[in-house]
Structure 1
Amino acid sequence: MPDLPQHKPVLAGTAYSGTSGASIRLEALPEGHLLHVIGAIEPAALAAELAKAGFTNSSIRKAGFRQWFVAGDEPLSPASLAALAAALAGKAFVMDQSHGRVRIGISGRSSRLLLSKGTAVDLDPAVFAEGSSAMTMVGHISVQIVRTGENSFELTVLRSFAESLWDELRHMAASAQKDGA
């Protein structure tokens, strides 16, 4: 049926590499899965339940008080979501946010400089270590920032704001390049 909606990745075909030795790289990450987990479960217990349900390559990111995002590059199967929901019954609730949010990767030696142009989060590695996450604003857009490496970050944004954030990041990257990135 031609009138049925077709899934199309919102940032399909986009990429950005800065000049000067590619000191900044932006990339649209795979639209695999993103789950929102809410409840009184500790991260270690959540990780154990994720492993049992087959989410072995997923990462857990703090998203607020007793809230976590579980992100991964693999598509979500209904059976694995059902298994996780059953395992978490009575401890936490899980909601699939895979089609409602987009992940953007930012890497390179000037990635912190780029992000400092849009957010007030202190991204110094001594304060914001690898694996740290924060819900914040980049400009006027609400995002979750996660440090994934020494010079790499991942931003999760509502799907409807992804293109706007992408454009803003490209402008900030160009400005960071001019500032000696």
Structure 2
Amino acid sequence: MPDLPQHKPVLAGTAYSGSAGTGIRLEALPEGHLLHVLGTIEPAALATELAKAGLAKSSIRKAGFRQWFVAGDAPLSPASLAALAAALAGKAFVMDQSHGRVRIGISGRSSRLLLSKGTAIDLDPAVFAEGSSAMTMVGHISVQIARTGDDSFELTVLRSFAESLWHELKHMATSAEKDGA
């Protein structure tokens, strides 16, 4: 009987560091967990339920009207997912998207310049503050972009587009460096 395919992270072993002048860094983030939550529950109540389920370190990101992504670095056990789904019953539905999406971190002094080359979102901190998130396009690829720090962002993309997005981001980083960022 042939061996079953083994799970391999899509962007395993990839990282990019730009020149010291730009400080741009791209990194494949751990393929921990990514949950899609839909319902009438408010973010504060969702955070309380996540803490009860042992997911207090997960971040909650708006993904649309009454929709959130819950992202974290640690893998989620089936028992934890079932406990969270039970706790949210009647308030929200939860779907595990961990297998279908990949997270990419972008940081550095010129991270906003890099992203401005591929998306129309205004990333000025006064408009898109830390903790903000939005569904958008980077080039032709649909992503969720979240600001995780002053000069750091996280992009969540469908797994099948992760390598294409990675190559596009590297190209944009090279272009940002040439622009004297």
Shorter chain as denominator, the TM-score bin is: over 0.9
Partner in structure 2 of residue 170 of structure 1: 170
The Cα shift of 1:22 comes to: 5.2
Q: Deviations over 1:99-153 (max 9, x none)?
A: 1000000000000000000000000000000000000000000000000000000
- Distance in 2, matches of 1:20 and 1:179, equals 14
The Cα shift of 1:5 comes to: 2.0
The Cα shift of 1:21 comes to: 3.9
Partner in structure 2 of residue 143 of structure 1: 143
Partner in structure 2 of residue 154 of structure 1: 154
- Per the normalisation by structure 2, the TM-score is 0.98
Question: Does residue 69 of the first structure (1) align with residue 60 of the second (2)?
Answer: no
The Cα shift of 1:45 comes to: 0.4
The SS at the match of 1:161 is helix
Question: Does residue 100 of the first structure (1) align with residue 97 of the second (2)?
Answer: no
- Per the normalisation by structure 1, the TM-score is 0.98
Runs (4+) of structure 1 exceeding 2 A deviation are none
- Distance in 2, matches of 1:76 and 1:22, equals 36
The Cα shift of 1:20 comes to: 3.2
Partner in structure 1 of residue 60 of structure 2: 60
Q: Percent identity?
A: 90
CA contact (8 A) 2:22 2:110 kept: no
- Distance in 1, matches of 2:84 and 2:5, equals 28
Question: Does residue 127 of the first structure (1) align with residue 119 of the second (2)?
Answer: no
- Distance in 2, matches of 1:70 and 1:5, equals 27
- Distance in 2, matches of 1:2 and 1:121, equals 47
The number of aligned residues is: 181
**2:173 maps to amino acid:** A
